[in-house]
Amino acid sequence: MTPDEIVQQLTSSYAVLIFSKSDCCMSVVVKHLIFSLGVGPKVVELDEHVNGSGIQDVLCQFSGTNQPIPAVFIGGEFIGGVDSLITYHLDNKLVPHLKEARALWL
């Protein structure tokens, strides 16, 4: 499977998907926010994945930056990184989107 196919398969298989790196403090913030809302995301630690660097290259295309980590997908839609996710949450859009994606029921 190519890195692009891996990203496509994962984003279509999980309501909430986080591409992360285990040593990235911004990844910790994203995971903490999602978990604190009662959501159990699929987390892919790129520094521990055999195709991590290739997946990161694919994520650069989504984010338009050289630093695409963390990368959050909800309901197959690319949300962005930590800044986008926090803004999304502060704008009261995150919880409704999680409910729409069936990642959150309350």
Global confidence as pTM: 0.94
Give bridge partners of residue 71 from the DSSP assignment. 19
pLDDT band at 81 (very low <50, low <70, confident <90, very high): very high
Does pLDDT of 34 surpass 80?
yes
The whole-chain average pLDDT of the chain stands at: 94
Contact 16, 39 (CB under 8 A): yes
pLDDT band at 66 (very low <50, low <70, confident <90, very high): confident
Residue 104 to residue 7: CA distance in whole angstroms: 22
Residue 15 to residue 102: CA distance in whole angstroms: 7
